Chain A
Amino acid sequence: MEKLGPFVRAAAPACAVLLIFVACLATLAGYSFRPRLGMAQMGSGFTLESYAAFFRDPFNLAYLWRSLWIATYTTAVVLVLGYVVAYHMTVCGPRMRLIITIILLVQFFTSYVIRTYAIVLALGRYGIVNNGLIALGVISVPAKLLFTEFAVAAGLVLVAVPFMVFPVYGSIAGISPNLRAAAGSLGATPAAVFREIVLPLSLPGVAAGVVIVYLFNLTAFITPSLLGGGHVDMIANLIFDRAMNTQDYPFASAAAMVSLLLTLIIVYLLQSGFRRTIRGAER
């Protein structure tokens, strides 16, 4: 009975959150099947017209493919950067670890919009990057860095790094130092220790980080909106545009449902893939 205590205490708020989430999702799903009658007007029947309209137009699908593509390669970049930082945090001294942790936490808790605006300042025509490149003589006129896919990708990577570092660090820090010492004493090189021990045992953290970062980047809104200049809009921007600018709620809801289903499929595939890899590594 006592063991149930924490569970019972967590159950009430968890149920409240779940209820609100399910209610919102049900409303969204309901809207997606209603007939479109014009701006801010929905009929009361059932129709698949909004889904058909979404899939019929290759322009709408282009938002999806662009989002998938950008999310995939930015997650790969975040994985490499995040893993390097996380690994370094496990081997460096406590002072350096604290400094890195503080930097990541400050970044993590800084408003997403403020961080994105900082990137606007950095990548703008007269921003730090262009001024630096001109000062070094690499370029003579400001390069177009902002309002490009590069700017959106850079923004997504910079904002997502803490989401990769923390779970990966947790995994690597959890590996017993005796394992590495034992391997070393048996003649394994540092590279072999990393390849045979550290990397496989860090996979649970990597899996968690990859899923979080991929979903975060796939559904990005503010970053493509501010840094893309309208040229690199992703699926969330399409949904916002249809909902807020043309008040086409059934279409926007259908696009959101398609995006949600795709997200669920991707999460399932990623988790299955990682589960198999982790099991193989453990053998």
Chain B
Amino acid sequence: MRIVAAIGAAILGICFWAGQAAATEINFMTWGGHYLDTYNPLVEKFAKQTGNKVNIVVMSGAKDGLTKIMAQKDDPQVDVWLSIESTAAEAEQAGLLSDLRPDLMPNLAALPKGYIGKQTVVMTLSPRGIAYRTDLVPFEIKDWTDLWDPRLKGKIGMSFVIDTGTPVIMAALLAGGSEKNIDPGFEKMKALKPNLAGFFKTDQESVKFLESGDFAVIGYAILANFYLKMQGESSDVKFVMPPKPKFLASIPGAVVKGRGAEREKVAFQFLDFLLSPESQEWVTSRFGQVPANPKAKLPETLAKVIPPLPLTDVYHVDWNVVNANYPAWNDRWNKEIQTQ
């Protein structure tokens, strides 16, 4: 009897192991915090549908993700990567990403052509603007130029690393410059210094310090960080997407090269799964983002926060110019703006 039970257990064990061995495990790198809560249910759904496991790897920011992928160049540990345009462009230039596989991604056919690159595909579009506490700011903020209002003295939190220096590009555009002529941006930012309370380096810090009131205004904010907090009736957090220039950041997804054919196949299938209307509606309803797949419904509450679609006057940053100049701009920011 004991022998029969042992043989039965061994057969069951072998079957279980064989089942596990057939499943492929991939690593999906994205931002942490709120992003984990959002992507965990999708990861579970994908696992149920396909039998393949997706592990979420957290990056503190897009630059952190890029650094990890570059450091792991000879032995990559990430399969699917969500990022921002500037870091995705860098990774592409460095030859770290795989070419998209339309044969494995049927949802690509629904996307506007402009969203599909050689190696990256826009997953969602994320509004940028100004987030502020209505109980701590004495007037309604409507425009980027309101940041320079003397009534905001010592109230603004600002960052340089968010969106790879875009806050300075915003200032440059207001002063007649651009990423190709950045000096007016730095001069404009110097004029903002009296209004700056401090600087943050991660999305989580911007959320934390706005919550605690140590920053009454986040001078360059990502809607996704504040969207859920704004939903409550009694919420005193408001987000405004100033009319000109508008920044609508593409959130590209990509598959990292070099993890083997099987993992790459599942990675593309997972990316395609994230482009399905159901996944897109889930993600964008939690982040206040615009879905890339036109078949996905726009979150209802998003219409109350951003101007009606399609958005006009969206500024498209030349990321090649930014990436070429970023180290010098970072140095200038530390010396001219961040130092008291």
| A residues in contact (CB < 8 Å) with B | 38-40, 59, 117, 120-121, 124-127, 144, 146-147, 225-226, 229-231, 233, 241, 243-248
- B189 to chain A minimum Cβ distance, whole angstroms, is 13
B208, B323, B327, B335: the one within 8 Å of A120 (CB): B208
Q: Please choose the segment from B99-107, B170-178, B197-205, B217-225 that sits at the chain A interface, where 4 or more of its residues have CB less than 8 A away.
A: B197-205
Whether B208 and A230, one on each chain, are in contact in the complex, defined by CB atoms closer than 8 angstroms, is no
Whether A39 and B326, one on each chain, are in contact in the complex, defined by CB atoms closer than 8 angstroms, is yes
Q: Which of B297-340 contact A (CB under 8 A)?
A: 323, 326-327, 330, 334-335, 338-340
Q: Please choose the segment from B5-13, B23-31, B63-71, B252-260 that sits at the chain A interface, where 4 or more of its residues have CB less than 8 A away.
A: B63-71
Whether B197 and A229, one on each chain, are in contact in the complex, defined by CB atoms closer than 8 angstroms, is yes
Whether B205 and A245, one on each chain, are in contact in the complex, defined by CB atoms closer than 8 angstroms, is no
Nearest 5 Cβ contacts at the A-B interface: A229-B198, A230-B199, A147-B198, A246-B327, A124-B212
Quick one: given A59-B335, A246-B327, A246-B330, are A231 and B198 in contact (CB under 8 Å)? yes
Q: Which residues of A contact B205 (CB under 8 A)?
A: 226
Q: How far is the CA of A127 from the CA of B212 in the complex (A)?
A: 8
B94 close to chain A: CB less than 8 A: yes
Q: For the complex, would chain B's binding face be called helix, strand, loop or mixed by DSSP majority?
A: helix
- A283 to chain B minimum Cβ distance, whole angstroms, is 49
Q: Which residues of A contact B200 (CB under 8 A)?
A: 229-230
Q: How far is the CA of A246 from the CA of B327 in the complex (A)?
A: 5
B214 close to chain A: CB less than 8 A: yes
B161, B214, B323: the one within 8 Å of A125 (CB): B214
Q: Number of B residues whose C-beta is below 8 Å from A?
A: 28
- A81 to chain B minimum Cβ distance, whole angstroms, is 26
Q: For the complex, would chain A's binding face be called helix, strand, loop or mixed by DSSP majority?
A: loop
- Chain B window 183-220, contacts with chain A (Cβ cutoff 8 Å), 1 for yes, 0 for no: 00000000000000111110001001000111000000
Quick one: given A241-B334, A245-B63, are A147 and B201 in contact (CB under 8 Å)? no
Whether B64 and A121, one on each chain, are in contact in the complex, defined by CB atoms closer than 8 angstroms, is no
Whether B338 and A39, one on each chain, are in contact in the complex, defined by CB atoms closer than 8 angstroms, is no
- A180 to chain B minimum Cβ distance, whole angstroms, is 49
Number of A-B contacts (CB under 8 A): 69
Q: How far is the CA of A244 from the CA of B334 in the complex (A)?
A: 15
- Which of B208, B213, B214, B323 has most chain A Cβ within 10 Å? B214
B92 close to chain A: CB less than 8 A: no
- Which of A117, A147, A226, A230 has most chain B Cβ within 10 Å? A230
Whether A126 and B327, one on each chain, are in contact in the complex, defined by CB atoms closer than 8 angstroms, is no
B154 close to chain A: CB less than 8 A: yes
- B67 to chain A minimum Cβ distance, whole angstroms, is 5
Whether A39 and B334, one on each chain, are in contact in the complex, defined by CB atoms closer than 8 angstroms, is no
B146 close to chain A: CB less than 8 A: no
Whether B338 and A147, one on each chain, are in contact in the complex, defined by CB atoms closer than 8 angstroms, is no
Q: Which residues of A contact B335 (CB under 8 A)?
A: 59
Residue of chain A at shortest CB distance from B68: A244
- B235 to chain A minimum Cβ distance, whole angstroms, is 17
Q: Which residues of B contact A126 (CB under 8 A)?
A: 212-214
Q: How far is the CA of A244 from the CA of B335 in the complex (A)?
A: 18
Quick one: given A121-B212, A125-B213, A144-B154, are A246 and B326 in contact (CB under 8 Å)? yes
Q: Which residues of B contact A248 (CB under 8 A)?
A: 327
Residue of chain A at shortest CB distance from B159: A230
Whether B338 and A231, one on each chain, are in contact in the complex, defined by CB atoms closer than 8 angstroms, is yes
Whether A125 and B212, one on each chain, are in contact in the complex, defined by CB atoms closer than 8 angstroms, is yes
Q: How far is the CA of A246 from the CA of B324 in the complex (A)?
A: 11
- A120 to chain B minimum Cβ distance, whole angstroms, is 7
- Which of B67, B90, B201, B323 has most chain A Cβ within 10 Å? B201
Q: Which residues of B contact A226 (CB under 8 A)?
A: 205
Q: How far is the CA of A124 from the CA of B200 in the complex (A)?
A: 15
